[in-house]
Amino acid sequence: MSEEAIDALVNTMLEIAEQILKVARGLDKQQVSKMIEMLIEVKKNGKKVMVVGAGRSGLVGKAFAMRLMHLGFDVYVLGETITPAVSEEDLLIAISGSGTTHVVVSAAEAAKRVGAKVIAVTSFPDSPLASISDHVVRIPGRTKVSKEIDYFARQLLGIYEPLAPLGTLFEDAAMVFFDGVIVALMRALGVSEEYLKVRHANIEIF
């Protein structure tokens, strides 16, 4: 492996870490507080939390759903075979960096039609997803690859082009953000780590 490739690896990790720090320091606390309040209300009322995301954002959503399950939420991931119908007053967490991902926007529209609430987690508060959601939490991140002509223009102008490809910066920042949401929920609900351990899977499949 060339030294250049290893340097790129290290620099990319540093870039991602710096992005997460930047996102954490720039979070809109009112946006986050409202999201946590909506989650607690759903749990209190015995309603379901549904999570949807496409590709890597979907994997981030699954990780978040797992932790919500550990906290005692009635939570499902859209697209899984055991996921029930969305009902009135349920809560859909819709994850899309661009806010234009068709399957996510369609899911949000369907949820709204049956009277469910929608929280959009996206980089673009003026996106189609955000516009139909009840609440938006903005997580900045590079979500699209620049066109080649744009790339060379940026180079000529000395504009920095991120090393992390595609939606990596959004996805990694969203993952850490959701982990932070879980800790905030633990504090708000008075739940200890021991409680989470009790609900952790005790049958491992290898």
d(CA 123, CA 185): 23
Measuring CA to CA, which residue among 84, 98, 100 is closest to residue 49? 84
How many CB atoms neighbour CB 37 within 10 A?
A: 12
Q: Are 142 and 165 in contact (CB under 8 A)?
A: no
Measuring CA to CA, which residue among 204, 194, 179 is closest to residue 72? 194
- Residue 136: in which H helix or E strand, if any? strand 135-138
Which value, in Å, is the radius of gyration of the alpha carbons in the chain?
Answer: 18
Catalytic pick from 171, 193, 194, 204? 171
Q: Are 114 and 87 in contact (CB under 8 A)?
A: yes
Does residue 37 have an active-site annotation? Answer: no
Active-site residue set: 171
